[in-house]
Amino acid sequence: MSLRTPLARARGLGSAHDGTSHFWWQRLTGAANLIALIFFVYTVFSLAGASHAEVQAYFDAPLAGALMLLLIVSVSYHMYLGMQTIIEDYVHSSGSRVVALALNALFSVFIALASVLAVLKLSLGA
C-alpha cells in the first residue's frame, strides 16, 4: 500500500520533488558527450605537434570554438551530476554531505570557467 496520492504517482515525483529529471539530464549529457567526443578526438589528432599559432588559427573558426565550449559545458555538468549522485548515495553524515555537495558544485564551476576562459583566450587571440 502506497501513501502517495494518485497525483504524486502520476507526476513521478519523489520526496525531493525532482522526479527523474536528474536521471535524464545525466543520460542526455552522456549522449552529448559521446557525440562531442568525436569532435574532440579529431581536434586533438589534427593539432598534434601544431604550433601555438596553428592552434589559435584553428580555434579562430567560430564553429570550432563553439563546439569546444559546448563540450566543456556538457562535460562539466555531467561531472557535477555524477559526483552529486555518488555523494548522495555514499556520504551518510548530513554535515559531510552538505560540504561535499558544495565542494562538488564549486569544483565543477571552477573547471568549467577555467576551461571556457582558455578556449576564449585561444579563440579571441588574447
- Check: pTM over 0.85? Answer yes or no: no
Grid cell for residue 71: 563540450
Residue 51 lies in a domain: yes
Can you tell me the distance from the alpha carbon of 53 to that of 122, in angstroms, rounded to the nearest whole number?
9
Residue 61 lies in a domain: yes
Residue 75 lies in a domain: yes
Give the domain extent around 106.
21-124
Question: Over the chain (126 residues), what is each successive 10-residue block's mean pLDDT?
Answer: 69 62 90 93 95 91 92 96 93 93 97 96 82
Q: What is the pLDDT of residue 11?
A: 67
The tally of domains found in the chain comes to: 1
70: domain CATH number is 1.20.1300.10
Residue 59 lies in a domain: yes
Q: What is the pLDDT of residue 125?
A: 77
Residue 49 lies in a domain: yes
Residue 2 lies in a domain: no
Measured CA distances, 107 to 40, 78, 79, 84, 111 (Å) = 22, 13, 10, 12, 6
